[in-house]
Structure 1
């Protein structure tokens, strides 16, 4: 027989919604402590920003070194392209005067300057490898030259400078 009945001796449908405890625990434990939603005490950190900073930042000694960029700017100063040592393009910067150029002119200009910047970056890689391989005992400059320029297809710094001078002289010649 159900415990909750109304005046008409029918089951009280709302008895299922009765969440009150029928009797208090006799062992002295208080279940209301489990429902304490007060904020926890901080763990010796002065504020939340310091706590986040301690989890996300590396130590001062772990600072990474800066990656060198090799930038070429066209003589009018409208397009600058920076390349990495492997010749990959890192960024392109445009001046406000590029709005006078057509889209195809701008695209061609970016491609020409990007090619020169990439070659300049690879020339720096050539120079780096040349110096380090010489320090490691590579004594034959002809073999080293062949390896870097033919085997690895890296332009020498001299070749990169010649190409840049030729492009600037022919492309931007006035008169």
Structure 2
């Protein structure tokens, strides 16, 4: 792993974009301790403004923000600074959004809660030509499926019939899934 002293000759500007203030503050402090020059934003609009005024070398962006999708920030960052390294964080992970994030230029996609060590490893992984270690406790396939169903259900304003139609499943099957507790 690249250590902080070895990074001193590099541009260590880092933009953190997240609307969870306590998480943002903790991550900001942790990344400053690792030698980064940290700037923060709590919305897509604020993140876009920071990227347009002074594109950072690194970014950690939450996927879902109150005013939109954090992938807009990643996309704009890659347009303004192609060598920038962005990591996307999300509490609503699924394969489709991970693929989209990578296509837009993100170097990694981490599920929340991610700690500062995970974020640092993801940002620096390419520097060492090694991949970040897999998570210690990844979500099971059943849990990923359940999370996806819950997300679609919420996006459909908790309408079971509409959710079942969009997921191409029988309404009663969906009702049984929704009635159960989340798998581990």
TM-score interval for Structure 1 and Structure 2 normalised by the shorter chain: under 0.3
TM-score normalised to structure 2 length: 0.26
Q: Say which structure is richer in strand.
A: 2
Q: Which has the larger radius of gyration?
A: 1
